[in-house]
Amino acid sequence: MQDQHDGKAGLSAVSQAYLTRLSEIADSCDKRIYAVLDGALFGGLTAHLSKAGLSHRPLYRHVASDAAVMLGGPWLVSLSLSPPAPSVPDDPGETPEPNDEELQALAAKLSDAMADAVARGDESGGGMLPADEIDLPRRVRTRVEALLKLVADKPAVVFWVGDRSLSEEKIHRHLRGINRIWLPVERDALAGSGVSLPVEEGTLALAAGDVQEEALAAADGAGRRDRSELVVFRHADPNVIMQVFPVLSPEQVVRLMGPADEIYFAPSKDWGGNVKRGRRPAGVAAQGGMLRLTPENIEAISATRMLAARRRRVAAFRRSAPHLLQNMDEGEALLFMERYEAQARAQGLKTERGFFQWTYLMSASNGGFIESPHIRDNLKGGNPDARLDDMMRLMANAAKERGLA
């Protein structure tokens, strides 16, 4: 999300756009709004959600040996529901800790009271169950605004919208079903896509799962068996959704959307910025089984990631070496980055750091950097990225010694 703040309640421009669109949806009183938050980008997310009066539940199962996996995973927030009333005092320290018998008695008492309230027509069970407030749009709008304040400018929320029949259980079951997806084990296609790398902004997956052979005949009819890899899909990251959604076939989109009609997400500026909407195509059957990306999907995602990387390089050059991009508009600057990136790849460089360093050295020297036989020999063999990094460090130290930096 962008960090430009103004307007209502100090919300950013993107959050205001979210609030306007989601408020319109809430005012219709015929659609339910859910949000999925990336727990890894928050500290104490559950406490913040409870304090904000937001009903929430995890999308990862609790693992006794590592609760951090669940806490740092995606969380479903039901914006059309009121949260249950707290069952403990605001300050537990004011009352003694109950023993097991007292806890059992209290649980039985609360259960009886809840059952009686439901029998009298109170859907909230006396405040102990979430209450459906889809027909109270002002309360839904208040929750949306509270959530946007909590998220602030983090790329950490995707909103899911469906009709009145989209219950919390239904969307929870669907979202758990896309926590993992199949990716093709095609290393050439995966290059540069960010798949199965450590967590970083816009990375598609957290970690690789089992590699299994799938009985999928190749398009050329040669009978080759493709292999797929099961990975954790980071669907709470709007930057990931921005990469994935546009490259999917209609059948894949329907599988991703499940029972929802629309999703809303706001990727960071590198991925296009502003609030985006994805819609479920009508009259299309879903892809069978788990969501599966194809080599063609990955190739398109890789191209998107490279464009975003070039945008980051342009922004970095405009800050640190603006004279090298003087009089270039955005399109010209991107072509500048692409040209030097192609040269860097030809020299064996593979990392974003290497592309940046190569572009700087080549453009600052008007192409003279690689003319040195010593430098060409140094880049050959081993790890060209590490060798270029060493050369960059040596040149920086030499410049400091001469008082030039």
Of 175, 205, 227, the residue at which a domain comes to its end is: 175
Whether 289 and 327 map to the same domain: the answer is no
Nearest CA to 167 among 54, 48, 81? 81
Residues 138 and 201 in one domain: no
Domain shared by 32 and 19, yes or no:
yes
User: Would you give the DSSP letter of residue 201?
Assistant: T
Q: What's the predicted TM-score (pTM) here?
A: 0.75
Q: Does some domain include residue 251? A: yes
- 3-class secondary-structure state, position 58: strand
Q: Which pLDDT score, from 0 to 100, does residue 34 have?
A: 98
80 assigned to some structural domain: yes
Q: Residues 271, 362: one domain?
A: no
Is there a domain that residue 368 lies in? yes
Burial class (CB in 10 A: 0-12, 13-18, 19+), 166: buried
Please identify which residue in the block is written with the tokens 């995602």.
Answer: 301
Q: From 53, 34, 32, 38, select the one nearest 1 (Cα to Cα).
A: 38
Instruction: Tell me which residue has tokens 């030499």.
Output: 398
User: How far is residue 243 CA from its own chain's centroid?
Assistant: 10
What residues are paired with 180 via a beta bridge?
232
Do the Cβ atoms of 176 and 58 come closer than 8 Å? no
State the distance between the two ends of the chain, measured CA to CA, in whole angstroms.
Answer: 35
| φ/ψ of residue 314, rounded to 5 | -60, -45
Whether 329 is covered by a domain: the verdict is: yes
Placement of tokens 């407030």 in the chain = 133
Are residue 222 and residue 325 in the same domain, yes or no?
A: no
Task: For the sheet with 225-233, list strands across it.
Answer: 180-184, 225-233, 205-217
Among the candidates 143, 159, 175, a domain finishes at 175
User: What pLDDT score does 194 carry?
Assistant: 36
In 3-state terms, what secondary structure has residue 391? helix
Query: Are 260 and 326 part of one and the same domain?
Result: no
Q: What is the pLDDT of residue 71?
A: 86
Query: What beta strand segments (E) does 69-122 contain?
Result: 74-78, 81-82
Query: Which residues are registered as beta bridge partners of 231?
Result: 181, 208
Distance in angstroms (rounded) separating the CA atoms of residues 76 and 160: 10
pLDDT of the residue at 209: 44
170 and 187: one domain? Answer: no
Position 54 in a domain: yes
* pLDDT tens for each residue of the chain, 405 residues long: 544 444 466 799 999 999 999 999 999 999 999 999 999 999 899 999 999 999 999 999 866 556 788 888 999 999 999 887 654 444 444 455 556 666 566 556 655 655 565 566 645 444 546 789 999 999 999 999 999 999 998 999 999 999 999 999 999 999 999 999 999 886 444 444 433 333 345 666 654 444 444 434 333 444 445 678 899 999 999 999 999 999 999 999 999 999 999 999 999 988 888 999 999 999 999 888 999 999 999 999 998 889 889 999 999 999 999 999 999 999 999 999 999 999 999 999 999 999 999 999 999 999 888 888 888 888 887 899 999 998 888 888 877 777 655
| Same domain, yes or no: 135 and 224 | no
Whether 163 is in a domain gets the answer yes
Quick check: is 100 in a domain? Answer: no
C-alpha angle 163/48/131, rounded to 5°? 40
- Whether 140 and 71 share a structural domain: yes
Q: Are residues 152 and 82 in the same domain?
A: yes
- Structure confidence at residue 69 (pLDDT): 82
Phi/psi at 210 (5° precision): -70, 140
Domain interval for residue 74: 8-92+131-175
Token pair of 159, please? 């909103």
Neighbours of 135 (CB within 10 A): 11
Residue 103 maps to a domain: no
The domain boundary, picked from 151, 175, 199, lies at: 175
Among 189, 183, 176, 174, CA closest to 214: 183
Total domains present in the chain: 3
Residue type, 36: V
- How far does CA 174 lie from the centroid of its chain? 17
Integer Cα distance of 181 and 230 in angstroms:
6
The DSSP code sequence of 15-57 is: HHHHHHHHHHHHHHSSEEEEEEEEGGG-SSHHHHHHHTT-EEE
Tokens of 373: 């036989």
Residue 366 sits in the same domain as residue 281: no
Whether residues 242 and 297 fall in one domain: yes
Element (H, E) at 199: none
